[in-house]
Structure 1
Amino acid sequence: MANSPPSHYLDIGQLGEDLVSQWLQSTGWVILHRRFACRWGEIDIIAEYAGDSQTKNHSTLIFVEVKTRSPGSWDGGGRNAITPKKQTKLWRTAEIFLAEYPQKADYPCRFDVAIVCCRQITDNSTVMVPEKVLASSLVATYQLELREYIADAFDSVTYNA
């Protein structure tokens, strides 16, 4: 088992999730859970968007996988890490969530992926935010950018027995 980082190091994955959570909240989503875990795996963010009460639309649930990577990562900024096996784990974890919260079981659901770029800022670095960034933040010596948000990134999963 890998050693946990010492407590004085920042958890870059959590910082990416914080950025995405803040962005989702700014667009009207309510965060229900962060790092919801069960025996199948973990979902980084579970959020709900309340429907319009005048049109009687149901709320929508999203299960968000956040991938925080440094520039030039080997896995396409995290996109290539969402394998069919990972999708199956997320799907099963979402089923457990819905079983624990049956009042939400009939809500429309979707699986989204957020791609966050993280780079360390040095004394001579310039903080630049590219034009197409959805949200950004500076935390300690790190610049985080929500570069891409893929709504409905996958919608069906084939279970591997």
Structure 2
Amino acid sequence: MANLPPSHYPDIGHLGEDLVAQWLQSTGWIILHRRFSSPYGEIDIIAQHHGATEKEQVSREAGEFLIPNSPLPTLHSMLAFVEVKTRSSGSWDAGGRSAITPQKQAKISRTAGIFLAQYPEKADYSCRFDVAIVYCQRIPKNQTAVIATQEALATSSAAEYKFKLQEYIPAAFDSSIDNG
């Protein structure tokens, strides 16, 4: 059997990012960008989360009922610059954790600075650098049942692969642009 061209195989990194983006959205985050590039590198996902509005905070403290969808601006918005590491079993780099070297962190930080320069309206938001660890496993064609393993935050299947968001690490590393 001849080897298939690389374009035939799925990009498991992108599929892992898809899973993390879907999970973030399901937990209230808004995806602003995917694969944001700069001369320094790329950020896999840039997401925004709105905190409570001032009215919501005062109402909660007073125990009042809150009218949903109030037009007041949201305070305490957060930006997350998310690095996604998708790995199969037996990966050499601790499931992707050791791939977040100080050099990689610096590249992500510089790229985040470029993002904030391009979107100055978000420059006052609190920022953090998150890491998502996704486990990828090829599903044999003759497998009829999925065997339960360690609990995952989210799962998906695509192109004969099963993906599990095993760990999401908020504020995984510090940066000079961290203003929160």
RMSD between superposed Cα atoms in Å: 1.4
Query: Which residue of 1 is the match for residue 161 of structure 2?
Result: 142
Query: Which residue of 1 is the match for residue 69 of structure 2?
Result: none
Query: Which residue of 1 is the match for residue 23 of structure 2?
Result: 23
Q: Deviations over 1:70-129 (max 9, x none)?
A: 011000000000000000000000000000000000100000000000011112444234
Shift of 1:131: 4.1
Q: Specify the code of the residue in structure 2 equivalent to 1:100.
A: Q
Q: Distance in 2 between matches of 1:150 and 1:139?
A: 24
1:90 matched to 2:108: yes
| Runs of 4 or more above 3 Å deviation | none
1:76 matched to 2:94: yes
Q: TM-score, normalised by structure 1?
A: 0.90
Aligned 1:58-69 pairs, distance under 5 A: 58-69=76-87
Q: Do 1:127 and 1:143's aligned partners in 2 also have CA atoms closer than 8 Å?
A: no
Q: Do 1:129 and 1:145's aligned partners in 2 also have CA atoms closer than 8 Å?
A: no
Structure 2's unaligned 5+ residue stretches are 58-73
Q: Distance in 1 between matches of 2:125 and 2:100?
A: 24
Q: Do 1:77 and 1:117's aligned partners in 2 also have CA atoms closer than 8 Å?
A: yes
Query: Which residue of 1 is the match for residue 151 of structure 2?
Result: 132
User: Does the residue aligned with 2:149 lie in a helix, a strand or coil?
Assistant: coil
Q: Deviations over 1:118-148 (max 9, x none)?
A: 0111124442343421000111200000000
Q: TM-score, normalised by structure 2?
A: 0.81
Structure 1's unaligned 5+ residue stretches are none
Shift of 1:50: 1.2
Larger Rg: 2
Q: Specify the code of the residue in structure 2 equivalent to 1:99.
A: A
Q: Distance in 1 between matches of 2:42 and 2:106?
A: 12
